[in-house]
Amino acid sequence: MSATFIDATFVRALCGGDEIGITKLGKGNKIMALVDDQSRPIAAIAFSAQPHEITLLDETLQDCPIASKVERIIGDKAYDSDKQTKT
């Protein structure tokens, strides 16, 4: 599998629960989704809404049954963890 894509979305949770996080938007969860190059889901996991997406990437991959076959993961700017240098 040469390319996969990852992103997250916030879901409001009005009733509460163990994995519910408090954010600026209220209470909710974050759903992380990993898809293949045909947009077929590979992994989808719900987390507390508080942690940043980049901190949830490793845990999402641990729950992915074919993570060892993934060559490249493409995400938006939220997943760019390289330090930027000013020129």
pLDDT for 5 equals 93
Question: What are the distances in angstroms from CA 22 to CA 18, 28, 35, 50, 66?
Answer: 12, 7, 27, 6, 32
- Domain-located, residue 85: no
- Domain-located, residue 66: yes
The residue segments making up the domain with residue 33 are: 4-76
CA distance 74 to 77: 10
| pTM, 2 dp | 0.71
pLDDT for 56 equals 87
- Domain-located, residue 87: no
Our count of domains for the chain comes to: 1
Encode pLDDT of 12-68 as tens digits.
776 666 666 666 667 788 889 999 889 999 888 888 888 888 888 888 888 788 878
- Domain-located, residue 81: no
pLDDT of 82 over the 70 cut: no
- Domain-located, residue 52: yes
pLDDT for 24 equals 67
pLDDT for 70 equals 83
